[in-house]
Amino acid sequence: MDDLYRENIMDHYQNPRNFGEIENPDISFKDSNPLCGDELQIDLKIEDNKVADVKFHCKCCAICKASASMLTEMVEDQDLDGLKEINKEDVMDNLGISLGPVRIKCALLPLKVLKAGIYGIDKCGVLEV
């Protein structure tokens, strides 16, 4: 079973979904993992309180890139409240394999970036940095 999950991770790494940038995103947040050097940015376009478009770009390892690709698929067409409900277990279930402590930080960086972007918005919809 692990082989199937590993193949899925490699597919998302080699053919990432939603890779790129959004011009004039409503939400954009970038962060890094100093332990391994991963850098990741997620951009969101929001319409009617829902994700109309999501993109990410990164300089990161296979686990981080695959996790970001899978996460962006999860958030497509979700409302902002639904995004707030996504948690660590959802991300780890998507990956489907056990990871050591350092690799878990790689896998969870996309979720951290997404949450920071969502919660960094003020009442006017402007990202507070």
Q: Which residues pair with 54 in a beta bridge?
A: 44
Higher pLDDT, 36 or 76: 76
The DSSP call for residue 19 is B
Element (H, E) at 119: helix 101-119
pLDDT digits (tens, 9 = 90+) for 19-57: 999 999 999 999 999 888 999 999 999 999 999 999 999
The mean pLDDT value of the chain amounts to 90
Q: What CATH number labels 2-119? A: 3.90.1010.10
Query: What does the domain layout of the chain look like in residue ranges?
Result: 2-119
Whether 17 shows a pLDDT value over 70: the answer reads: yes
CB distance 52 to 46 below 8 Å: yes
pTM attached to this predicted model: 0.88
As given in the structure block, the two tokens for residue 101 are: 């402590």
